[in-house]
Amino acid sequence: MPAFAISKKIFITFFLIAMGTAFFFSCLNTYDRTKFSPKQTIHHYKGSEGNQGVGEGSSYPMLYGEVIEVMHVHAFMIPLIIFVMSRILSMTGARESVKITVYISAFVGTIMNLLSPYLIIYVSERFTISLIMSYIVLGLCFITFIFMPIGKMWSMKPAEESDYWL
């Protein structure tokens, strides 16, 4: 990563911390709804056995339109966030093999995360594992996206204002 002026380091660091915080709350929201348990995940997407929607133990299944409503926003935002964070990671001096591994993992994790709700509802409940795994894969990618650039960036001396290109 090129040496940056202190203002650029602070800006990028705050952005990465904000993205990490957003991902944390996304995971917390998912945990609150599913406890990262296959059974609770099925319950969230397919509803409870009685499908009465009354009480804490039962709920209606998610309708096709509800899934589309939630997923269309995620289908735009997740790739955009991954792209920006990948761009920051690309400026580090990390080995190409590490960068490629993180890029591919983030892409696979995103596809798993976007497709799994549909697969759970319309194909098989076994796809709950792919949804849970997508959070693990994306979590590991986010850790790399955040801590590798911050570590590399802050370990370098500040640049003159004309020395950086971001």
Contact 141, 105 (CB under 8 A): yes
Task: Report the C-alpha gap between 85 and 99 in whole angstroms.
Answer: 11
Q: What is the pLDDT of residues 32-45, one digit of tens each?
A: 999 999 999 999 99
Q: Which of 155, 109, 108 is nearest to 132 (CA)?
A: 109
Distance set, CA 158 to CA 2, 8, 11, 12, 162 (Å): 9, 9, 14, 14, 11
Q: How confident is the model at residue 156 (pLDDT cuts 50, 70, 90)?
A: confident
pLDDT at residue 3 greater than cutoff 90? no
Contact 121, 67 (CB under 8 A): yes
Contact 21, 97 (CB under 8 A): no
Task: Report the C-alpha gap between 126 and 124 in whole angstroms.
Answer: 5
